């Protein structure tokens, strides 16, 4: 990553992180979705000036559209587009506390497997591990063979008439 993409990627990561915390019901003080006053410390409001950034009179970078929408949801942008339309679809963001996960187990009582089921389970586990190991071995040998083709001459079969 370079200076031109760092600010945008960090804004994206902060947004995903904040959305996941809201989805899990975590109300942390640095979540800008729930607490708008921490947005200036969390998101980048502008992106740096680069050779491909359009020129502007103040010589500052591009304004983050995400930052401008979240900081002032009723404003219109420079092209006259009203960004308040999306707020009607978003509910009021209130985290009521941590999420409660309820898991229902199908079997409440432990019991032994039958001998046939036990043998099949062990065979499937062993064969899947063996096939994974074999695939890794073939990948390593193939990489070695492509990297050092002169070594493969000694492994070539010799046919005698």
| Confidence at residue 122, expressed as pLDDT on a 0 to 100 scale | 92
pTM, rounded to two decimals: 0.47
CB-based contact 97:27 (threshold 8 Å): yes
CB-based contact 77:86 (threshold 8 Å): no
Q: What are the residue boundaries of the structural domains of the chain, listed by start?
A: 3-88
Q: What is the pLDDT along the chain (161 residues), one digit of tens a residue?
A: 676 678 888 888 988 998 888 888 788 888 888 888 888 888 888 777 776 666 666 656 677 777 777 777 666 655 555 555 555 555 555 556 666 777 777 777 778 889 999 999 999 999 999 999 999 999 998 888 888 777 665 555 555 55
CA nearest neighbour of 21 among 97, 85, 92, 88: 97
**Alpha-carbon distance 132 to 125, whole Å?**
11
Question: Who's near 29: CB < 8 A, 6+ residues apart?
Answer: 35, 38
| Confidence at residue 91, expressed as pLDDT on a 0 to 100 scale | 56
| Confidence at residue 28, expressed as pLDDT on a 0 to 100 scale | 82
CB-based contact 44:55 (threshold 8 Å): no
Q: Which two tokens stand for residue 14?
A: 């902060």
| Confidence at residue 130, expressed as pLDDT on a 0 to 100 scale | 92
Q: Which two tokens stand for residue 118?
A: 């036990």
């Amino acid at each position: 990553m370079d200076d031109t993409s760092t600010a945008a990627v960090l804004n994206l990561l902060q947004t995903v992180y904040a959305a996941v915390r809201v989805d899990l019901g975590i109300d942390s003080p640095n979540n800008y979705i729930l607490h708008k006053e921490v947005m200036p410390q969390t998101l980048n409001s502008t992106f740096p000036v680069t050779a491909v950034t359009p020129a502007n009179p103040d010589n500052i970078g591009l304004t983050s559209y995400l930052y401008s929408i979240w900081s002032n949801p009723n404003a219109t942008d420079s092209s006259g587009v009203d960004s308040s339309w999306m707020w009607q679809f978003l509910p009021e963001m209130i985290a009521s506390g941590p999420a409660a996960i309820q898991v229902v187990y199908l079997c409440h009582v432990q019991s032994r497997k039958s001998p046939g089921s036990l043998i099949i389970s062990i065979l499937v586990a062993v064969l899947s591990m063996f096939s994974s190991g074999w695939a890794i071995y073939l990948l390593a040998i193939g990489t070695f063979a492509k990297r050092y083709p002169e070594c493969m001459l000694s492994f070539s079969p010799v046919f005698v008439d």
